[in-house]
């Protein structure tokens, strides 16, 4: 089974509930597309659902900010497709950089783990 972070937006219970609550003409606002979408396929799967239901989806920050992702005009379709590909590339690069960093730390003999619960991570900080 995929982790929650790899699920398509349409397969997430919370987002699906939001879609069911939204009325025709409503605008759903999200802070950052990267928090909702994980791939180009995800955005392209959601667009027809939004259009069919008469909903708008606006991103407040990041590459897709200010664009109504449910806009059905040719310009919006093109912009969403191109920017979604850039967003997916960006997510992939973050993952690749993380894997390389972990591998380098392991090669340097560093122990990788999360701090134990209730244990101070830094002087004056509790975590």
Domains of the chain: 4-90 (3.40.50.1390)
What lies within 8 Å, CB to CB, of 33 at 6+ separation is: 43, 59, 62, 63, 64, 69, 84, 87
- Identify the pLDDT of residue 5: 55
> Helix, strand or coil for residue 58?
strand
**Tokens describing residue 43:** 């955005």
- On whether the CB atoms of residues 29 and 58 are closer than 8 A, the answer is yes
Q: What is the pLDDT along the chain (127 residues), one digit of tens a residue?
A: 344 456 788 888 999 999 999 999 999 998 887 778 777 788 888 889 999 999 999 989 877 788 888 888 898 888 888 877 887 788 788 889 989 999 998 899 888 887 776 655 555 555 4
- Identify the pLDDT of residue 29: 92
- Identify the pLDDT of residue 122: 58
Q: What is the DSSP letter of 41?
A: H
Going through 1-127 in order, the beta strands assigned E by DSSP cover: 27-32, 56-61
Going through 33-88 in order, the beta strands assigned E by DSSP cover: 56-61
- Identify the pLDDT of residue 92: 85
Cα 83 to Cα 14: distance, rounded to the nearest angstrom:
25
């Amino acid at each position: 089974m995929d982790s929650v972070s790899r699920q398509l937006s349409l397969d997430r219970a919370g987002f699906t509930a939001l879609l069911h609550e939204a009325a025709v003409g409503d605008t759903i606002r999200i802070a950052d597309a990267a928090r909702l979408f994980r791939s180009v396929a995800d955005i392209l799967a959601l667009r027809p659902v939004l259009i069919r239901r008469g909903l708008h989806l606006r991103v407040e920050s990041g590459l897709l900010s200010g664009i109504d992702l449910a806009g059905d005009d040719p310009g919006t379709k093109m912009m969403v497709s191109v920017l979604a590909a850039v967003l997916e590339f960006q997510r992939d690069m973050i993952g690749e950089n993380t894997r390389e960093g972990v591998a380098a730390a392991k090669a340097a003999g560093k122990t990788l783990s999360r701090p134990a619960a209730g244990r101070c991570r830094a002087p004056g900080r509790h975590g």
